[in-house]
Amino acid sequence: AMKRYGATRWDVAQKHLGYLIWEERWIPSDDGETLEEIKVRRDDPEGGTFAGTTLAPLFNLTEETLKDTLRPRFTFYWNYFIDDSTPGHYFGGVGPEVLGTLLLTVLAMCFAIPLGVISAAYLVEYAGDNAVIKIIRVCINTLAGVPSIVYGLFGLAFFVTYVTKQPCILSASLTLSLLVLPVIIRASEEAIRSVPQTYREAAMGLGAGKFRSFLTVTLPAAGPGILTGIILSLSRAAGETAPILFAGAVALGPIPNFAGKWWLQPTRALSYGCHDITVGDKLAMMVPHKQFGMVMTLILLVLCLNIVAIVIRSKMSKKLRGM
C-alpha cells in the first residue's frame, strides 16, 4: 500500500530536479579575495561534470518528462476508511480515527439528548416563568456561546481529574455532551413550545394526566423540532477538536480494546488527527494528502450521520401527518 498509494508534491519535485540538473560551484571573484557561487548544468558541454558521457542525455530527458513521470494514476483506495495508519501519518488509512470519532460522538449524544430533552420539558411544562427560570435560560444561552476550548479545559479540570482519573473516551464524551447540551435544550424547548395548546387540552380532556399527555402527545409532536437540534449538535460534536484535546484524544495509539474497559482508554479522532498533523508533525505536512483525506472523511461521516437523522425526522413528520 505504501508503494501503490503514495503522494507527490510538484513543488518538491521541481526543487529536487534543480538539485539533479544544476551543480553549485564556488569560483574566485574579480578581486581575487572572495568566492562567488555559480550554477552549471551537469550536462553542459563547456564544463559540466557529465558532459560527453552516456549519462548526459538523461538530464534533458528527465527535465522534459518529469511531469508525465510523476503524474499519479487516479484510483480510489477503499481500504483507506478501515486501515490503520503508519507512524507519522504518511500512509495507511483512518480506520481508528473513524471508529474513535463515532464512539465519542455517539456517547456524547447518549449523555446529552436525554438530559437536554428532560431539561427542556421541565422548563416549558413545569417551571413557569419566574425570575429563577429566567436566570437559568440566560445561563443556557450564555453556555451556547462559550468557546469550545473552555469546555476542554473544564473537562480536563473536572472529568479527567475527579471522574475518570485519566484522559479517556468517557471523559472526552462527557465534555462533548456539555458542549452540545445548550443547543439541544434550546432547540427542544422551542419545539415543545411550538406544539399547539389544543393537543394538551385534548389529551387531558380524555383523562390523561399532565405527564402522560406530555409523554404521549406533546413529545411525539415536538419530535421533528427536537431532531433538528440533535442534527446540529451531532455535526458540532463530531467536528470539534478543542473539547477532546485534553480529555481523551491521542494522535497515535492503539485501537480501543472492546474486550476490556474501552471507555477508559484514549482514542484517536479525525478532528484531532488533522490538528496534530497541522501543528505537531512538520514532516507529515510535507505530504498533506493524509490530512486532506481525514478532512474529507470527517465531512462524509458528518454528512452520513446527518442523512440518517434527517430520514428519521422525515418519517416521524409523515407519521404525525398521518401519511
pLDDT (tens digit per residue) in 13-39: 888 888 889 888 887 777 767 778 888
d(CA 233, CA 76): 31
d(CA 175, CA 156): 9
Cell readout for 269 is 479522532
Q: How far is CA 314 from CA 76, 227, 308, in A?
A: 33, 10, 10
- Using a 10 angstrom Cβ sphere, with 0-12 exposed, 13-18 middle and 19 or more buried, the burial of residue 304 is exposed
Give the three-state DSSP class for 98. Answer: helix
pLDDT of residue 292: 84
d(CA 108, CA 101): 11
Q: Tell me which residues of the chain have a pLDDT lower than 50.
A: none
Rg (CA), the chain: 30
**Helix axis angle, 169-193 relative to 219-239, nearest 10°?**
140
Cβ contact 40:48 at 8 Å: yes
Cβ contact 183:190 at 8 Å: no
Long-range Cβ contact pairs of 282-288 (< 8 A, separation 24 or more): 283/88, 284/88, 284/89, 284/90, 286/9, 286/12, 287/6, 287/7, 287/9, 287/90
Match 495508519 to its residue by C-alpha cell.
85
pLDDT of residue 131: 87
Tens of pLDDT, residue by residue over 110-148, are 999 999 999 999 988 888 778 888 899 899 989 988 899
The pTM of the full predicted model, rounded to 2 decimals, is 0.77
d(CA 282, CA 273): 13
